[in-house]
């Protein structure tokens, strides 16, 4: 689990982009006590900023903020660079949530005392997210500041080797998308057996919720928990035999993560 939540670093926070992910993070930070008046959001549309946050469509003629977060699409990195070029001074901490885009590509484009890559996932919105962090050789002050932002979002971990960052992005960053798909598939499979669709959907989500919480709290692995559901000669084993045949589920998820990892690597290459 993440470390204890510390106070937010002093000074202004600017977000470049505030869509699904940046908006979820910002709303969670504000719920955790970040003063919205200390936040500026700069987007192309001027939309998506929470109440009380300054919302702009261009760089203000002001000194650089203490913390700057890039939360636009990786494909917009050059637009962000052009927009930020006239900024007066440099932020103490640049946080980037851009999938794929590596530290060197960021350092080549943006001035900052420290640059930290962060890969959150959508459940940060409820403080149950996963955020992976990476930085080479940042100061203790910068890593503490990054942890202060990651803490209220849920579980966070530093990734020692940037070469693993595309893989953690595939597993945890994209992961909620795959889990939501699984929930949908479980519900559809129930409906295929004749259950009303809305009932199947409710049962599928509640089953996922209980199972995930139980797995998170358990002192044994999910594999052992699975065996506890599967009574010998019973119906779970019969169903699990389908998932386990030729490692079908593992093979499907391995192919799924590999495809996402490949795409992250492509976006990284495009940003170099
Ligand atoms: N959606 C997710 O679950 C996750 C997304 N990410 C990363 O978060 C970043 C944003 O993704 P989403 O929030 O899903 O996208 P989104 O499309 O919902 O939001 C993009 C935001 O960027 C703004 N924007 C676009 N062009 C801009 C420009 N030139 N200047 C300033 N603002 C601009 C848009 O107005 C919008 O606020 C991406 O880099 C993605 O890799 C990371 C982890 C999870
Ligand atoms: O789909 C994407 O590119 C981003 C990266 C992680 C989750 N969403």
CATH of the domain at 219: 1.10.3730.10
Strand bridging mode 93-96 / 129-134 = unpaired
Probe ligand 2: pick from 19, 20, 74, 99, max atoms within 8 Å of CB? 99
Q: Which of 117, 139, 165 finishes a domain?
A: 165
Residue 147 CB partners (closer than 8 Å, separation 6+): 2, 3, 6, 133, 156
* Of the residues 112, 134, 165, the one at which a domain ends: 165
**Cα gap 56→33, rounded to integer Å:** 22
Tell me: do 244 and 203 sit in the same domain: yes
Q: Is there a single domain that holds both residue 143 and residue 182?
A: no
Residues 52 and 115 occupy one common structural domain: yes
Residue 80 lies in a domain: yes
Residue 4: predicted pLDDT: 42
Same-domain check for residues 157 and 194: no
> How many whole angstroms separate alpha carbon 33 and alpha carbon 7?
9
How many CA atoms does the CB half-sphere of 17 hold within 13 Å? 20
User: Bridge-partner residues for 154, per DSSP?
Assistant: 129
E-strand spans in the chain?
13-16, 39-42, 54-56, 67-70, 93-96, 114-119, 129-134, 154-158
Q: Is 26 in the pocket of ligand 1 (CB under 6 A)?
A: no
| One domain, residues 70 and 150 | yes
Tell me if 170 is assigned to some domain. Answer: no
- Same domain? 155 vs 78: yes
Ligand 2 contact, 130 CB (< 6 A): no
8 contacts 148 by C-beta, under 8 angstroms? yes
Same domain membership, residue 221 and residue 141: no
Pocket flag, ligand 1, residue 42 (CB < 6 Å): yes
- Is residue 24 in some structural domain? yes
Give the angle 109-111-113 at the CA atoms, nearest 5°.
Answer: 140
- Count of domains forming the chain: 2
Task: Identify the residue whose C-alpha is closest to ligand 2 atom 1.
Answer: 174
Q: Does residue 3 fall inside a structural domain?
A: no
Say which ligand is closest to the CA of 129: 1
| pLDDT for the residue numbered 48 | 85
Q: Is 18 in the pocket of ligand 1 (CB under 6 A)?
A: yes
CB of 173 within 6 A of ligand 2: the answer is yes
pLDDT at position 137: 86
Give distance in angstroms: CA of 97 to centre of ligand 1: 9
Q: Which residue has the tokens 């559901």?
A: 229
Q: What is the pLDDT of residue 2?
A: 41
Integer Cα distance of 147 and 8 in angstroms: 9
State the distance from the centre of ligand 1 to the C-alpha of 76, rounded, in angstroms.
9
The residue whose CA is least distant from atom 7 of ligand 2 is 174
Q: Which of 165, 184, 208 is the last residue of a domain?
A: 165
Q: Which candidate, 192, 120, 197, 196, places its Cα nearest to that of 153?
A: 120
Does 54 share its domain with 91?
A: yes
What stretches in the chain show pLDDT beneath 50? 1-4
Q: CB–CB of 66/12 below 8 Å?
A: yes
d(CA 69, CA 72): 9
Tokens 């937010």 label which residue?
A: 8
Assess whether 129 and 63 both reside in one domain: yes
The reported pLDDT for the residue numbered 203 is 98
* 131 & 228 share domain: no
Q: Print the domain residue range for 155.
A: 13-165
Say if ligand 2 is within 6 A of residue 169 CB: yes
- In this prediction, residue 64 carries a pLDDT of 98
């Amino acid at each position: 689990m993440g470390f204890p939540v510390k106070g937010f670093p002093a000074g202004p926070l600017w977000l470049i982009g505030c869509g699904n992910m940046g908006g979820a993070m910002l709303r969670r930070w504000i719920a955790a006590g970040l003063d919205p008046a200390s936040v500026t959001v700069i987007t192309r549309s001027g939309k998506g900023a929470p109440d009380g946050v300054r919302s702009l469509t261009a760089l203000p003629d002001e000194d650089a903020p203490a913390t700057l977060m890039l939360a636009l699409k990786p494909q917009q990195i050059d637009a962000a660079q052009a927009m930020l070029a006239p900024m007066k001074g440099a932020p103490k901490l640049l946080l980037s949530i851009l999938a794929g885009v590596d530290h060197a590509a960021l350092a080549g484009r943006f001035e900052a005392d420290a640059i930290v890559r962060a890969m959150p996932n959508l459940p940060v919105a409820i403080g149950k997210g996963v955020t992976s962090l990476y930085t080479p050789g940042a100061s203790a002050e910068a890593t503490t500041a990054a942890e202060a932002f990651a803490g209220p979002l849920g579980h966070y971990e530093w990734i020692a080797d940037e070469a693993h960052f595309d893989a953690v992005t595939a597993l945890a960053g994209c992961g909620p998308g795959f889990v939501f798909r699984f929930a949908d598939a479980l519900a559809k499979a129930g409906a295929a057996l004749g259950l009303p669709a809305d009932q199947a959907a409710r049962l599928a989500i509640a089953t996922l919720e209980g199972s995930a919480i139980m797995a998170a709290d358990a002192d044994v692995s999910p594999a052992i928990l699975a065996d506890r559901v599967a009574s010998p000669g019973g119906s779970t084993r019969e169903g699990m035999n389908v998932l386990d045949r030729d490692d079908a589920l593992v093979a499907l998820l391995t192919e799924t993560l590999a495809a996402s990892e490949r795409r992250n690597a492509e976006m990284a290459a495009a940003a170099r």
